[in-house]
Amino acid sequence: MVERLSFYLERSSPLHRLNPTTKLVVAFTLILVAFLGPGLLLPSLIFLLILTPLSFVGQVGREFLRTTVRLLLPLFAFLFVMQSLFYPGGKTVLFGFWIFSVKLEGVRFAFLTATRVLVMVSSFLLLLFTTHPGVLLLDLTQRGLPASVAYILASTLQIIPQMQAKAATILDAQRSRGLDTSGSLGRRIRALLPLVGPLVFGSLVDVEERAIAIEARGFRSSRPKTSLVEIEDRPLERALRWLCLLAIILALGSRLWP
Amino acid sequence: MAVIEIQNLTYTYPATSHPALREVSLTVEAGEFVAIIGPNGAGKSTLCYTLAGFIPHFFKGELQGEVRVAGQDIRRVRLEDWVLKVGLVFQNPFNQISGAKFTVYEEIAFGLENIGVPREEMKRRVEEVMALTGIEDLADRSPYALSGGQQQRVALASILVMQPEVLVLDEPTSQLDPIGTREVFQVIRRLAHQGVTIIMAEHKVEWIAEYADRVIALAEGRVIGTGTPADVLTDPRLPDYGIGISRYTAVARRAAGEGLWPAERRLPVTLDEAEAGFRAVEEAHAHLH
Ligand SMILES: Nc1ncnc2c1ncn2[C@@H]1O[C@H](COP(=O)(O)OP(=O)(O)OP(=O)(O)O)[C@@H](O)[C@H]1O
Ligand SMILES: [Mg+2]
């Protein structure tokens, strides 16, 4: 069965020790500033001068860069080709070949969009690499997220690999009874339809069993809950979160009153 | 003092026509270790669910008769706090996994978090119970990435840690090898000696014969026998009901057919009893010659 349930990489770095909510707030702030803030270079500077160094502070630099590149390279290639060639209203032609001409406005637009997406994806990657999902959910629960919502999120994270395993099992079973899953797209979809029943029905049955399971562990007990893990939250972090709010307001201001 | 008192319990699941339990009456004393035997579909799990309050609070259906556990009418208890009194270990350990936790250690602590046990006590209890059930080395593993036997131990640990007054176990050793089974039976017996009341649905009659104080046999929802393991497990009707019997009983019964078992002696349920009986036959024969 699947042992790894999330992106989380266990290290003992200062970034790992930060309060999960602080990391969540910082990630959102960087994304908002990248999208709202002024200038062509701002998002790329955020990536190069904040996110990348932070990833090395968090001792996940190599994984961070590798995963980012792998996730985004195909998208960027596509973006640059499309936008530099077909950007509407592009006037400044940089160079041309055959019937195509690459325009400056298109390249600029592609660059800005690509680096913004880069900040968005990599901020979340860094958050996920350095934050245990259970701890993040626990912290949010302690800040008022209902325990049932946290439970649903946590169990969804766990269930995805299970569902994949189950789908594979059902598929194998159907195949061994002569189901053909190769061939054209339409044929493949039709072949996969018999998978839906067992998967959905099986999951519904699981839900009932799951409900009894957590009931048997006192999930709805009327006593106040406690938690195994203690999550630190230092005053400095609180200050940092206020600073983030300020940064968001400034970025918004720059957008509204340029 | 009777901890469990059931009188004329008849229960029918929703949307079914035949009762899963029919006119069941039984009492269990505090600190008693009672085993429930019966063929598939006899109603063992249904009885377990009733004691744990899932019937009638989770599975609605129709419940007739009286069920009192720890002095309370099961219809009147609040299911959400009943776990503190009665702990249930499910038949399928996979279904016991909360799904909310990422490691075995956290999984076992889950119940204690829910009932508000302070952190230091929580850690102490989790570590104690992991040692007791022999799963210390699984602490950091994902509860999903375990073998059936390991999951079964984790399921047991995660209920034991809550220290219920009454412990209901639904076939808790089904996926364990003989060594694991012995460990579980020993842990359970120790708890019974500490005053915990134990109800265990179980097929493995040879283990029941050695460890349980009393046996209740169910078939088609009815109680067909109750008494000491020696009495119930040698009941000649058991095979007719589809209930397995001990190898020792089976061998001695055939021997008795050939006149090779002392006539006045009860059939054996354990190895020791079988040995003693056959030795008596041997001596009697030696005497004749
Ligand atoms: N959720 C349910 N809804 C409807 N009928 C059920 C349900 N669970 C069990 N039954 C029925 O109730 C009867 C008793 O089942 P139960 O599961 O209690 O038997 P069991 O003795 O535990 O059997 P096994 O040895 O297979 O675990 C069976 O006829 C079964 O089909
Ligand atoms: Mg059962």
CA atoms within 13 A on the CB side of B37: 30
Which residues pair with residue A96 across a beta bridge? A101
Q: Closest-CA residue in chain B for A227?
A: B113
For B59-117, the pLDDT digits (tens) are 989 999 999 999 999 999 999 889 999 999 998 888 888 878 888 999 999 999 999 99
Separation CA A90–CA A108 (nearest Å): 10
Question: How many other C-beta atoms lie within 10 A of the C-beta of residue A197?
Answer: 10
Separation CA B174–CA B180 (nearest Å): 10
pLDDT exceeds 90 at position B160: yes
More confident of the two residues A186 and B153: B153
Q: What is the mean pLDDT of residues A205-228?
A: 83
Separation CA A22–CA B133 (nearest Å): 39
**In angstroms, what CA-CA distances link B130 with B106, B107, B135?**
12, 11, 5
More confident of the two residues A180 and A93: A93
Crossing angle for the helix pair B271-288 and B247-257, nearest 10 degrees? 20
The shortest C-alpha distance from A148 to chain B (Å) reads 10
Mean pLDDT of chain A: 82
Q: What is the mean pLDDT of residues B2-16?
A: 95
Lowest mean pLDDT among A61-70, A128-137, B220-229: A128-137
The DSSP result for A164-232, as a single string, is: HHHHHHHHHHHHHTT----SSHHHHHHHHHHHHHHHHHHHHHHHHHHHHHHHTTTTT-SSPP--SS---
Q: What is the mean pLDDT of residues B255-279?
A: 88
Separation CA B218–CA A53 (nearest Å): 68
DSSP code of residue A41: S
Which residues pair with residue B216 across a beta bridge? B36, B226
The protein residues having their C-beta less than 5 angstroms from ligand 2 (an ion) are B 44-45, 91
What is the per-residue pLDDT for A86?
Answer: 77
pLDDT exceeds 70 at position A205: no
pLDDT exceeds 50 at position A1: no
For A5-52, the pLDDT digits (tens) are 567 888 889 999 999 999 999 999 999 999 998 888 999 999 999 999
Q: How confident is the model at residue A203 (pLDDT cuts 50, 70, 90)?
A: low
- For chains A and B, count residue pairs whose Cβ atoms are closer than 8 Å: 122
DSSP code of residue A4: -
Which of B24, B46, B223 has most ligand 1 atoms within 8 Å of CB, for mutation?
B46
The shortest C-alpha distance from B25 to chain A (Å) reads 25
Cross-chain residue pair B115–A221, CB shorter than 8 Å: yes
**In angstroms, what CA-CA distances link A228 with A16, A197, B201?**
18, 39, 32
Q: What is the pTM of this model?
A: 0.78
Mutation target to probe the B interface, by most B beta carbons within 10 A, among A215, A223, A227, A231 is A215
DSSP code of residue B60: -
Segments in chain B forming alpha helices (H): 44-51, 54-57, 79-82, 104-114, 119-132, 148-160, 178-193, 205-211, 229-233, 247-257, 271-288
Mean pLDDT of chain B: 92
Cis status of the peptide bond prior to B56, with omega within 30 of 0? yes
Using DSSP's 3-state secondary structure scheme, residue B21 falls into strand
B24: its two tokens: 């069941």
pLDDT exceeds 60 at position B220: yes
Domain spans of chain B, in order of start: 246-289
A129: its two tokens: 């690499």
Nearest beta carbon to residue B114 from set A5, A211, A218: A218
The DSSP result for B184-220, as a single string, is: HHHHHHHHHHTT-EEEEE-S-HHHHHHH-SEEEEEET
Give B-chain residues touching A145 at CB under 8 angstroms.
none
Separation CA B142–CA B139 (nearest Å): 9
For A179-200, the pLDDT digits (tens) are 666 666 676 677 667 666 666 6
Counting every residue, how long is chain B? 289
Structure-token match 């940089």, residue found: A94
Q: What is the mean pLDDT of residues B27-35?
A: 95
Using DSSP's 3-state secondary structure scheme, residue B27 falls into strand
For A108-167, the pLDDT digits (tens) are 888 999 999 999 999 999 998 998 888 888 888 888 888 888 887 777 776 666 666 777
Q: How confident is the model at residue A93 (pLDDT cuts 50, 70, 90)?
A: confident
